[in-house]
């Protein structure tokens, strides 16, 4: 029970951190509602950083495919899974 609770809380913490980053990432749109200019900087920086995790996951996936030791039995599934 404790193990499930700890893992569940960790996922909530990660979701809260992601929500915080994504909310700041929309800060470059706040210019149009009259907020201070620093929101333009914060929003632009975080908005530019948002694609980095997706790029890192893609690099990790291709790295794992290139490092595999045995052949996958379903040849069509590998290119489909990689996109």
The structure tokens listed for 33 are 């509602």
- Tens-place pLDDT, residues 43-60: 888 888 888 988 999 999
pLDDT confidence tier of residue 17, bands split at 50, 70 and 90? confident
pTM tops 0.75 = no
Burial class of 30 by CB neighbour count within 10 A (0 to 12, 13 to 18, 19+): middle
Interatomic CA distance for residues 73 and 31, integer angstroms: 54
């Amino acid at each position: 029970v404790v193990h499930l609770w700890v893992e569940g809380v960790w996922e909530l913490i990660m979701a809260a951190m992601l929500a915080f980053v994504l909310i700041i990432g929309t800060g470059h749109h706040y210019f149009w509602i009259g907020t201070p200019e620093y929101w333009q900087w914060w929003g632009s920086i975080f908005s530019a950083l948002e694609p980095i995790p997706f790029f890192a996951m893609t690099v990790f996936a291709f790295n794992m495919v290139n490092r595999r030791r045995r052949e996958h039995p379903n040849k069509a599934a590998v290119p489909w899974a990689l996109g």
